[in-house]
Chains A and B, each alone.
Chain A
Amino acid sequence: MLGKIVELIRLTATELSPDILSALKAARSREASYGAAQSIYDRILANADLAKEESIPLCQDTGIPIFRVNLPEHESAQNVHNILKKAVKKATKLNYLRPNAVDTLTGKNSGNGVGIGIPQVEITRWNKDYSEIGLMLKGGGSENVGAQFSLPDEDINANRDLDGVKNCVIEAVYQAQGKACPPYFIGVGIGGDRAGSMKLAKEQFWRKLKHSHPQLRDLEEDLLVKLNQLGIGPMGVGGSTTVLSVKADYLARLPASYFVSVAFTCWAFRARFLTIRRGEYTYE
């Protein structure tokens, strides 16, 4: 089992999944030939090839490992948590991960990739008969530009409605400029409390499909068009794609508050799944 998780980490850190690769290729084709933007996609795609071929991390910032685990009733959760931690240590030793856990009080890097709250592990029970382990490696640059708004917000002309929500997202991406290695993937959390709203925003990165609610689907589609009008482009050098996808969801809120959280992921969107079904391991 330990080896299978280390393999999940290796795969996530070194190989972009096919849908991300094709999104980047499509973005490349929307830029002018031989321009600055296109040359950046060429570098990104050449890097993806080399990283895969030589099994080295796509980016030196291998980020925070976020595991999302779904278990059938009979599996022990404690057991899984321990194995995940061990796997992170092993993958760090093998240079698939950079030692990325710094003790906030002492400033010391643990050196083995593990620290208080790192890796992040969320375990849920489900009523299926197999286990699924999702892993996302989320870099620090993209985490740093995440933003939270409390509406109404006069400065950005945002009231407590979906137009206000859109303004929050536009402002967050404008502020981020090229700092977190665009093109970006954007997650939006609407409502809830502060913590719940940001959590929801980040959970959107696991969702592949468009939202089933027509109002939110419209919001996602409209924002994608508007954000790309900002023209920030790959690595902030200007271009027609600043954002590759927008995913939004909502929670109920208190009458007194209306939070909007915006989470970012850089072009190096690294997320993979391992399914374990009757002793058989499948990577996706």
Chain B
Amino acid sequence: MNEFTLPLAEETVRSLRVEDHVALSGTIITARDLAHKYLVSNDIPELTPWLKDAVIYHCGPIVKKVGSKYQIIAAGPTTSMREEPYMADLIRKYRLKGIIGKGGMGAGTLKAAQKYGCAYFQATGGVAAITAQVVREVKAVYMLEEFGVPEAIWVLRVEKFPLLVTMDVCGQSLHHIIKKRSESKRNKLLFG
């Protein structure tokens, strides 16, 4: 497994290939449906420096407030495909270097990722307990009032977040490969 510290350099991203195991340490930013929709046509000035060259995490965490501090209870990935309409725009706008989620994304994202140098990392779904463990600190939160806890934009410091590259800058998508493969098997099983 290769360990990387964020932010990711462009040449690092361009060296990653589908099925590489990586562990990321540093700052990542959560974004779900509302955040994507909002950021495509608006800016949050204090957030912009965080987002530049950043790695975005498709996640709606469970958060507990302890005194004035926030603590992440569970932070598994959510299905990325819902953000497909916005993803390419956000990659271009903020020059995002990575997206963490589950299930992979579509052709638009893959194209933007190729062009601007961005990789897609799949986190294992459902393993809430160990995923919460890699989140070491909540550094900031934006749009908490407006969006609510799961949809708010959380700036998190993670340590050694274990991930699998499933879309790379060469235009390969493990999700497409597996689907294609299972499709020919399906056709054979159904139609002989």
A: residues with CB less than 8 A from B are 35-36, 39-40, 43-44, 46-47, 50-51, 54, 56-61, 95, 98, 139, 141, 156-157, 167, 170-171, 174, 177-179, 181, 226, 229-233, 235-238, 266-268
B127 contacts chain A at the CB level, 8 A cutoff: yes
B179 contacts chain A at the CB level, 8 A cutoff: yes
3 nearest A-B residue pairs (beta carbon)? A60-B74, A47-B127, A59-B126
Instruction: Please determine whether A267 and B126 come into contact, CB atoms closer than 8 angstroms.
Output: yes
Q: What are 27 of the A-B contact pairs (CB < 8 Å)?
A: A36-B21, A36-B164, A43-B130, A44-B126, A44-B127, A47-B127, A47-B131, A51-B129, A57-B74, A60-B73, A60-B128, A98-B62, A98-B74, A141-B125, A167-B189, A174-B186, A179-B79, A229-B185, A231-B178, A231-B185, A235-B122, A235-B124, A236-B178, A237-B19, A237-B178, A238-B177, A267-B126
B182 contacts chain A at the CB level, 8 A cutoff: yes
Specify which of A50, A59, A229, A233 is in contact with B76 (CB 8 Å cutoff).
A59
When A36-B164, A43-B162, A229-B185 are in contact, do A235 and B129 touch as well, CB less than 8 Å? no
Instruction: Please determine whether A170 and B190 come into contact, CB atoms closer than 8 angstroms.
Output: yes
Q: Return the chain B residue nearest A57 by Cβ.
A: B128
- Least Cβ–Cβ distance between B100 and chain A, in angstroms: 13
Instruction: Please determine whether B127 and A230 come into contact, CB atoms closer than 8 angstroms.
Output: no
Instruction: Please determine whether A44 and B124 come into contact, CB atoms closer than 8 angstroms.
Output: yes
Determine the chain A residues whose CB is within 8 A of the CB of B21 once the complex forms.
Answer: 36, 39
When A60-B76, A179-B103, A233-B178 are in contact, do A171 and B126 touch as well, CB less than 8 Å? no
- Least Cβ–Cβ distance between A48 and chain B, in angstroms: 8
Determine the chain A residues whose CB is within 8 A of the CB of B191 once the complex forms.
Answer: 157
Determine the chain A residues whose CB is within 8 A of the CB of B102 once the complex forms.
Answer: 178, 235
Determine the chain A residues whose CB is within 8 A of the CB of B133 once the complex forms.
Answer: 50
Instruction: Please determine whether B122 and A237 come into contact, CB atoms closer than 8 angstroms.
Output: yes
CA gap between A59 and B174 in the complex, in Å? 24
When A156-B190, A174-B183, A229-B189 are in contact, do A43 and B124 touch as well, CB less than 8 Å? yes
Given contacts A36-B19, A174-B186, A178-B175, 17 further A-B contacts (CB under 8 A): A36-B164, A44-B126, A51-B128, A56-B128, A59-B76, A59-B128, A60-B62, A95-B64, A98-B74, A141-B79, A141-B125, A167-B190, A177-B179, A178-B178, A231-B181, A237-B122, A237-B174
Determine the chain B residues whose CB is within 8 A of the CB of A178 once the complex forms.
Answer: 102-103, 175, 178
Instruction: Please determine whether A57 and B129 come into contact, CB atoms closer than 8 angstroms.
Output: yes
Determine the chain B residues whose CB is within 8 A of the CB of A231 once the complex forms.
Answer: 178, 181-182, 185
CA gap between A238 and B133 in the complex, in Å? 27
B166 contacts chain A at the CB level, 8 A cutoff: yes
